[in-house]
Amino acid sequence: MTRNVSLDVEWVPSACTLPNAERPLRVAEFDALFANAVRGVARPEHTRLRLELVFSPDNAARAAELAARENGCCSFFTFTLTIADGGLALEATVPVQHVGVLDALQARALC
């Protein structure tokens, strides 16, 4: 699958403490996860995004590691990784004032 999504990070909120030079790299890491592991995207609530991932230990490890690093610079995120019944899901929840970040992640995941 070819992804034609710019690495524009203008939607990154000022609350993010990741250095500007590292932001395109983080976006690229999310894009790689989205391209290789996401099999479904849902928005069960305005402030919650659910990504159904292809079940594998590697995908679980990648999602957990990326979520942990992202929470380190954008502490407003709450990530939940669920492994159950042969399924794998990553959920991201944000306060309402950061819903634009969730919108941007959803748009990237759907590309």
Q: What is the pLDDT of residues 35-82, one digit of tens each?
A: 999 999 999 999 999 999 999 999 999 999 999 988 888 888 999 999
Which domains are assigned to the chain? 21-110 (3.30.1360.40)
How high is the pLDDT of residue 73? 82
- Model pTM score: 0.83
How high is the pLDDT of residue 7? 45
How high is the pLDDT of residue 17? 63
Q: Who's near 99: CB < 8 A, 6+ residues apart?
A: 46, 47
Q: Are 101 and 13 in contact (CB under 8 A)?
A: yes
Q: Who's near 50: CB < 8 A, 6+ residues apart?
A: 41, 42, 43, 44, 89, 90, 91
When the pLDDT of each residue in the chain is averaged and rounded to a whole number, the result is 85
Two structure tokens written together for 35: 């391209």
